[in-house]
Amino acid sequence: MGASAISMLPGGYTQNITAVAPYARALADAPCLPVARGVARTAEDTLRGRLIEELMCTMQVDLQAGAAAEHDFAAEYAALQPFVEDGFVLLDGSCIRVMEAGRPFLRNVAAVFDTHRQALSSTTPDAAPQPRFATAL
């Protein structure tokens, strides 16, 4: 709740108006919530979100468990190779495990599975500005 708050709903995400004064005015003047924007989640988004959540919470994920087994993650598996070479990630068949040395880079590892982030990084230099995400250094 509040200005700029992000809500996760079963079908997607919403973000409230970000500035405090316009948020307060919208809340007082309108009979509806002061939502500025929203994004609907697809089944693919939901699956990838669960993979990312599991990886970030348990430091490992099995790409052949549950609904993930029906998807091809070959590109993501290949994108993890630099982390493997640096000793941050261990790949064991379909299992991905973030090693202790890789903990500071966990967000970077998880981002491999975020298709929305991938789409942003593949835009051309002359494209319109895209929304930014928090990054790990």
Both tokens of residue 5? Answer: 């708050």
Domain coverage including residue 92: 43-121
Whole-number pLDDT of residue 133: 47
If asked whether residues 14 and 75 sit together in one domain, one would say: no
Whether 116 and 51 share a structural domain: yes
104: which DSSP letter? G
- Confidence band for 126, pLDDT divided at 50, 70 and 90: low
Amino acid 44: pLDDT: 93
Q: Is 16 helix (H, G, I), strand (E, B) or coil?
A: strand
The pTM of the full predicted model, rounded to 2 decimals, is 0.72
What's the rounded Cα separation, in Å, for the pair 89 and 113? Answer: 14
Cβ-contact 38, 15 below 8 angstroms: yes
CA quadruple 122, 127, 133, 134: dihedral, nearest 10: 90
Does the pLDDT at position 39 exceed 80? yes
Q: How wide is the angle at C-alpha 69 spanned by C-alphas 68 and 70, nearest 5°?
A: 90
How many angstroms separate the CA atoms of 46 and 39, rounded? 12
The one-character DSSP state at 32 is S
Total domain count, the chain: 2
Q: Is residue 19 part of a domain?
A: yes
Domain co-membership, 47 together with 73: yes
Quote the percentage of the chain above a pLDDT of 70: 85
Residue 117 is predicted with a pLDDT of 76
| Domain co-membership, 86 together with 109 | yes
Mean pLDDT score across all residues of the chain: 87
